[in-house]
Amino acid sequence: MLNRLMKIAMGVAVPLVLLAAGPAMAEIREHQIKFAAANNKGHPQVTGMEKFAELVAAKSDGKIEVKLFPGGVLGGDVQTVSALQGGVIEMTVLNAGILAGNVKQFGAVDLPFLFNSGEEADKVMDGPFGTSLMELLPNTGLVGLGYWELGFRNLTNNRHAVTKLEDIKGLKIRTIQSPIPIELFNSLGANAVPLPYTELYTALETGTVDGQENPAANILNAKFYEVQKYMTVTRHQYNPQIVLISKKFWDGLNDEEKALLQSAATEARDYQRKVSRELDAKAIADIKATGMEVTELTPEETQKLRDAVKPMIDKFSAEIGADTVAALFKQLDAARGQ
């Protein structure tokens, strides 16, 4: 830069593009970001993290390094959120509904049987509704960079095949640490046991719980088929994941750095969703190949599940807030072209 200024002073022509490029690149400083998540390498969640890290390195010319900590090595989701708020960890990605403990309106995305497809969810979460939820986060020490996908959850257990609503009664089912999933399975007659994902495999192996519910990709990635005999394709809940960054860290960034991270998160989002959906499409066949017995519910039995959880949907809609739920369903109708 000094040489360029000397040339200008001496009357030597310097291309304007070079002058513009210097200050712009100079705005990107060196940073190291710890990015934590609960799933293991090979899961679409972690594949998205890897893409994000790759994009950030390229966009920052190597100045910003994203170090990945998958597999819950820095703690479970709730613990990691606290670490972000304290500025100990810079980033995480997790089920958006878990944030209901921080911002009650996030509970809306946990409502069962909400979305019919991932594409439908994209329209709602990428639109005004998803944005309105993220706007509530800074007051809690968090900043949202966008929504990725975990996908549709299905039920597994180690006691018997679940082919109808009554088969769920009495099963000890691990759920995520969020009020709606807990009440959802209690409403279906199970005994819901909230546990961190990092403790789930051991809980299944030791019989602390009979079963769990997760997307097919998780069942494969975490090798739950080693400790579970039966899977039922219930698709009872869709999980958008939210990419979070610590507000303490975010506030220390300049505008160029913020724009770079946001751009990388959005590009990685599109890639991550594609990977997630491709894997989900083949995961059930892969699960069957492990020897698990897979049951598809009939439409009639699925309707019984929907009917059983309707009272808890009404209850939580009131707790989440009528305005929030109304805005969600308005966006959902728009996504469906209604």
pLDDT in tens, 123-178: 999 999 999 999 999 999 999 999 999 999 999 999 999 999 999 999 999 998 88
Residue 113 — left, alpha, or beta (φ > 0 → left; ψ -120 to 50 → alpha)? left
Its CATH architecture, for the domain 31-335, is: 3-Layer(aba) Sandwich (3.40)
Domain residue extents for the chain: 31-335
Report the C-alpha gap between 147 and 317 in whole angstroms: 22
Report the C-alpha gap between 214 and 165 in whole angstroms: 18
> How much is the pLDDT for 281?
84
Could you tell me the pTM of the whole model? 0.86
Strands 211-214 and 142-157: antiparallel
Which amino acid is located at 39 in the chain? N
User: Which position has the higher pLDDT, 224 or 12?
Assistant: 224
Inter-residue contact 65 to 33 (CB < 8 Å): yes
Report the C-alpha gap between 289 and 107 in whole angstroms: 35
> How much is the pLDDT for 24?
45
Which amino acid is located at 288 in the chain? K
pLDDT digits (tens, 9 = 90+) for 279-300: 998 999 999 999 999 999 999 9
Half-sphere exposure of 103 (CA within 13 A, CB side): 22
